[in-house]
Structure formats: structure tokens, C-alpha cells
Structure 1
Amino acid sequence: MSSQQIPEDNLPVVQETAHGAVERSDDPFADPGLPAHQPRIQDLDERAAKRSERAVALMFTLSMLATVGFIASYVIFPVDKIVYIWPFGHVSALNFSLGLTLGAALFFIGAGAVHWARTLMSDVEVAAERHPIEATPEVKAQVMADFAAGAEESAIGRRKLIRNTMFGALALVPLSGVVLLRDLGPLPEKKLRKTLWAEGKQLINMNTMKPLRPEHITVGSLAFAMPEGLDPEAHDFQTQMGKAALMLVRIEPDDIKDKRQRDWAHEGIVAFSKVCTHVGCPISLYEQQTHHVLCPCHQSTFDLSDGARVIFGPAGHPLPQLRIGVNSEGNLEALGDFDEPVGAAFWERG
């Protein structure tokens, strides 16, 4: 035979498949296939598998403990507590503990899932040819079979310790979001239903800061008042005035159509909440001839001669009325609180 050598580019390509079979191909760009599967120590030694199972369970348990710590932080640390933590310096104890515990809870769930997948779940690589988007019945059946096989290979049925601790960690983590609802603020309880008005509280003129007397309010005029004892410099002044703001007008008694309104007035002076019953805007536009007041936000209009009923606009109910009288000093005073909660009609939605 001739000793002439075959060009290297023309040598046949030897290809080993994932099942170990050897194929020969003349195509130098042929798919080399997947390397032979190498079993892990956990696949061969049940004791190693048990160690991995305990490690995963430990991570899920640490996640549960971190979630409990997250919730406990809300109870233990006040919002304004500042602590020194090296190297961060002075930080909020609440924010630092919340970030640390929530981060740990999520990290250990992720780390446990990754360790579980790398050591105990099946790691055999499978190559599948592309198929049409709409699967055939055979493919669907194969998918369900593969899913069942995957569930079996994950050992979630046999590894009860992992399964139970994982479910516990996943069940506790959402509680962090429930606790975060506290940041929306304290529950209003009955604060929205009550104001500072009470029997015996004098009506203080918002302009002069002196008690209002009947002679200060003439027919057709509009006055604004606040409860006696409310300090404009107090930190909660705006909060309290947002509920207790009061407007007064004097109407000829014969022009008042509503009997209860007439009984709750004093010599034709009627007192109503200044807070619109639509979305809580302040009412300040008064039409003397018609006795109508107009909300500047959405044009809700109320008739002060007829129980402050709504005659136009989106407001849902009349303005609450305050029963007033005169004390022994001749000053106007409240004879109780408003007859119903002020502002938007949250209380009607029961």
C-alpha cells in the first residue's frame, strides 16, 4: 500500500452519545452529544443523601426562625429607636432588624432549594428535539409522565423532613407581608366617628380666637369656629380640625324648613360641619340669597335652610349638624357632638 497520509481534515469524526454508543460521522461540525452522566455521592451513598436532607431541612428551619424574628422585631423595637451598629453607624433598630431577618428568611429558602436540587434531585441531562407549539396527545401524556417521574426523582415523597420544613418556611414567609400592614398606620377605631365637640364646649372664632356670641353673627353672614381648648400650636391641630371644622350662618327662623334643624339652632344660627361629605374638602362658598353652600372641589351643593341636604353634585349625604345653645356668659356653646360622623360616607357602607 502507499504510505501517502490521509489529510487530517478528512478524518472521520468519532461521536459518543449520552448512552455510551459510538457513532462515526464524516461531518466535522456534528453535535458531539451530552457527556456521560457522572453519579453524585448522594446517588451512591444513602448516608450522604441523609446529610444533604438534613442540611436542606436546616436551611428551611432557619428561614422559619428568621420569619419569626421579623415579626418579633415589630413588637420589640419602637419606630424611633436608634442604635449604633458597626460599620453602618447609627441606624434605625427596627429597619435594620426587619431587613436582616427578612433577607435571611428569603436567603435560606433559596439556598435550601438550590442545595436540594444540586444534591438530591435528579441531575440527568435530557435533550429533546423541538416540537410544534401545539402538543400532540402523545407528547401531553409524556409530559405528565415526566412530571410524575420528576416528582418521584425529587424524593419529595420519601424525604418527608425536607417536604415538611419547606412547607413550613413557605407558609411563614407571607406572614411578613401581613405584618408590614402596620406601616399603613394605627387602626382608626372610633376616631373617625368622634370629634372634639362635646356638651359645654364654647365655639371659638377662627379669626379672633375668642368665644363667639350670637350678636357676632348677622343674618346672611358666614363664620368659622373651632372647639374651645384646641391649641393651634399643637402637633395634632390639623388632624383635629380636619374633623371638627365648623361653619355657622344665621338664617331667619321662618326660612328654616327642617324642624329638627330649627330645634338644634339658636335664634336662627345653625352650625354644620365644614367638611364636604364627598371626599372631605373644606366648604367655604356661601350664597346668601339661596342659603346654599358650595364645595369648591367637585361642586357639591348643600341647602342650609333644609337640613344641609344635597341638591347638586356627588356628595352622598347632608352635612352633619351640631346642636348649639348659649351658656351663662352669653357665649355660643355646643350641646354635644355632631349627629353623625363627618366627612366621606365610610360609615354608611357597613
Structure 2
Amino acid sequence: MTSKQHTAEHGSRLEPVNGHPNLGVAHHPPRITDGVQAAERTAERQVAGWFILSMIGTVWFMFSYFFFSPESNAMGEIKIQNMMFGIGATVALGSIGIGIVLWAKTLMSDAEIAEDRHEIAGTEEDQAIALEILNQAKEESGIARRPLLRNTLIAAVAMAPLPAILVFRDLGPLPGDKLFNTLWGPGVRLVQDPGGVPHEERFIKAEDVTIGSAFHVIPEGMHEAEHPLDEKAKAAVLLMRIDPKELNIDPAKESWGVDGIVAYSKICTHVGCPVALYEHQTHHLLCPCHQSTFDVTEHCKVIFGPAKRPLPQLPIAVDDEGYLVAQRDFPEPVGPTFWEINTRETSEA
């Protein structure tokens, strides 16, 4: 027994430090599990019981996912499934925590020692000491000689993440080519977005779009779609008119606008926020979420912020009555670049 351990267990005084008394570590009486084998086995079973209860909580969470309907309510607006999820997650995670605390309190060595601080270095000798400390911790915790606790803890921790697999399953598959397909198509008229207020559709004539103006636009007939809000999340467009002399037009997209009138997706290519701020003087579109900035004069290329690609352009034209219409759908997927982007063949343009 070292002098420091002796001080910790018997409370004898250490030498004064800088003129101040050094009382060491207070006397700590032994626990019942330190000397009674039956009590030690009982404590071990109790800890294992908490780990087993954690596994039951995990199984209950997974059972609730399939057994309880997401639509059923209890006690007013509380969803039964959500309540069962909460119970399962609380039991699964809380029981692991209680079991570990109980293990530390009743079975792990609790002898306190006082050690002098020393410089931390990375010599081989220090590494050997660190390894010795780890081995000592393994021995004192009893994890090597208590297979019941070790195995139930490993099983509980291994099962705890399983509910996340079910939750991630609800995210659904990657969108694939779904974002290629919006309500825009050949001849679909551009309609002013009513902003959630239902009224008669207001079609837009080319002569109504003056230089410097900007319109929030949706496709004709969107309110008749099965899921209009979902469709709007893909098809929302910003329409602007700029002096044609200020536009640096790609020859391949020369026919995509009408006398300086251009239309671009309103959905930011970073994380999908609505790009709703148009700076008339600079011809910049700004996303308010993370400040991605797009230059309309350069086909909405990114000039600032985290977005990685330009806003997709909607090819537009004028029909026989002078109304602005789409030539076809967007040539590339709208929204965030979370997956590989495959642009439609240029031959369609």
C-alpha cells in the first residue's frame, strides 16, 4: 500500500503545502458489496437487470413503430405512437444510464487517492504508465471478470441505435428523377403567386413585366393538383425583366427568355430555402437562409455563399395572346444538390 493510498483510506495528514495544511482525502468506509459476496452478486444482477430492461425498451420502441397507427390520438391531440416512442426511448436510454451509475456506485473500486500533478509528456515510459492505468481501470471496474455485466451492457448499447433505422426508413428513397418533373410543361402559362390567398388566376403578359420588376410565379392550374403545396415547393419561380444589354446570355440558352424577361427556380440549390430577395441595382438574387447570392445577368451563377450550382432556368416564351408560357419543364432538377445532378440532354433545349 502506498503512502497516498494509506492517506486516502485512513485519513492521516500529509505534509503542509506552501504553509497550508494538506488534509489529503477524507476517510471513506467500505461498502457492503466490498466484503459480502452475496451482496456483490445481488448488485451484479441488479445492474444486469437494468441493461436487460434497456433492451426491452428498445424492442418496445420497434414494436410501437409497427403496432400503433401514426394517426391515432390519445388524450386530445397527443399521438399514441409518439407517446409509445417516448416511453420506449426513455426506458432504453435511461436504463443504460442507471445501470452504469449503479455499477460504478456498488461494484467498481471507489478508493480515493491524492496524486501530485506532473507534466504530461509522450515518452514511451508515459505510454507504458497509461497502459497500466487502463489495465488497472479494467480490473477495478470488473468488466473483464464480470461477463454477465459486460455482455448485457454490450447487448443493450448495441440494440439502442436500432430504432434509428426505423426512423431513417421514413425518410424514403432518394428523389431520383422526381425533381425533374414539375407542373411546368409546353404551353403552361405563368401565374402570379397569390401568396396563399385563393382568387382567380392572374396570367402575366410580357408587356406587364417592366424593367426592374420581379414576380413570384407558379404554374397555371397548380391549385387543382393532388398535392398543390408539394408541387409549389418544386415549381415556384421568380420572373424578372432586365435590360437585354446587361445580360450575358449563353448562346445555347438564347431562346429561353423574352426580350430581357427571364425566369429562374425560386428554390435555393443549397438547402431549398425560397430565394425571394431581388436587388434591382445589382441584379442579384439573395437567399435569406444562408446568404447564397446568384447573379441573374450570368444565368444565376453563384457569386457568394454555400450554394454550389446556379438556379435552374425555366425556358419561357409568349403565346398567341401575349401571355408568358413555359416552353417545357426545367432542364435540370430543382432544389438542393444532395445527390448527383444529371442535366437533361442539350438537344431538348
Please state which band the TM-score falls in when normalised by the shorter chain: 0.5 to 0.7
**Which of 95, 99, 119 pairs up with 1:112?**
99
Q: Does 1:132 align with 2:122?
A: no
Structure 1 position 220, deviation (Å): 4.2
Q: Is the 8 A contact 1:274 1:282 kept in 2?
A: no
Matches of residues 8-157 of structure 1 in structure 2 within 5 Å?
Answer: 40=33, 43-44=36-37, 53-84=44-75, 91-117=78-104, 121=107, 126=111, 128=113, 130-134=114-118, 148=135, 151-152=138-139, 154-157=141-144
**Which of 263, 285, 310 pairs up with 1:272?**
263
Q: Is the 8 A contact 1:205 1:212 kept in 2?
A: yes
Structure 1 position 166, deviation (Å): 0.9
How many residues are matched?
303
* Structure 1 residues 321 and 285: CA distance shift in structure 2, 3 A: same
Structure 2 gap segments, 5+ residues each = 1-7, 11-22, 195-199, 343-349
Q: Is the 8 A contact 1:197 1:244 kept in 2?
A: no
* Structure 1 residues 163 and 293: CA distance shift in structure 2, 3 A: same
* Structure 1 residues 238 and 294: CA distance shift in structure 2, 3 A: farther
Q: Is the 8 A contact 1:53 1:116 kept in 2?
A: yes
Q: In structure 2, how many angstroms separate the alpha carbons of the residues matched to 1:221 and 1:270?
A: 10
* Structure 1 residues 286 and 18: CA distance shift in structure 2, 3 A: closer
Q: Is the 8 A contact 1:193 1:342 kept in 2?
A: yes
Query: What are the superposed Cα offsets for residues 142-168 of structure 1, whole Å, 9 maximum, x if unpaired?
Result: 886676456345543333232111111
TM-score (structure 1 length as normaliser): 0.61
Structure 1 position 78, deviation (Å): 5.0
* Structure 1 residues 199 and 144: CA distance shift in structure 2, 3 A: same
Q: In structure 2, how many angstroms separate the alpha carbons of the residues matched to 1:18 and 1:277?
A: 65
Q: Is the 8 A contact 1:302 1:319 kept in 2?
A: no
SS in 1 for 2:331: coil
Compare CA radii of gyration and give the structure with the larger one. Answer: 1
Which residue pairs with 1:189 in the alignment? Answer: 175
Q: Is the 8 A contact 1:277 1:343 kept in 2?
A: yes
Query: What are the superposed Cα offsets for residues 160-198 of structure 1, whole Å, 9 maximum, x if unpaired?
Result: 232111111122224456766789x77772565553312
Q: Is the 8 A contact 1:60 1:108 kept in 2?
A: yes
Structure 1 position 270, deviation (Å): 4.3
* Structure 1 residues 78 and 335: CA distance shift in structure 2, 3 A: farther
Q: In structure 2, how many angstroms separate the alpha carbons of the residues matched to 1:157 and 1:312?
A: 59
Q: Does 1:228 align with 2:220?
A: yes
Q: Does 1:295 align with 2:316?
A: no
Q: In structure 1, how many angstroms separate the alpha carbons of the residues matched to 2:160 and 2:253?
A: 56
**323-332 or 131-140, larger mean C-alpha shift:** 131-140
**Which of 187, 191, 201 pairs up with 2:188?**
201
Percent of residue pairs identical = 29
SS in 2 for 1:247: strand
Amino acid at match of 2:143: I
Structure 1 position 65, deviation (Å): 1.8
Q: In structure 1, how many angstroms separate the alpha carbons of the residues matched to 2:53 and 2:275?
A: 51
* Structure 1 residues 321 and 83: CA distance shift in structure 2, 3 A: same
Amino acid at match of 1:92: K
* Structure 1 residues 172 and 220: CA distance shift in structure 2, 3 A: same
Structure 1 position 294, deviation (Å): 3.0
Structure 1 gap segments, 5+ residues each = 1-16, 20-29
Amino acid at match of 2:115: H
Q: CA RMSD in A?
A: 5.1
* Structure 1 residues 199 and 173: CA distance shift in structure 2, 3 A: same
* Structure 1 residues 157 and 141: CA distance shift in structure 2, 3 A: same
* Structure 1 residues 42 and 60: CA distance shift in structure 2, 3 A: farther
Structure 1 position 247, deviation (Å): 0.9
Matches of residues 327-346 of structure 1 in structure 2 within 5 Å?
Answer: 331-342=323-334
Structure 1 position 93, deviation (Å): 1.6
Q: Is the 8 A contact 2:214 2:278 kept in 1?
A: no
* Structure 1 residues 182 and 293: CA distance shift in structure 2, 3 A: farther
Q: In structure 2, how many angstroms separate the alpha carbons of the residues matched to 1:38 and 1:313?
A: 64
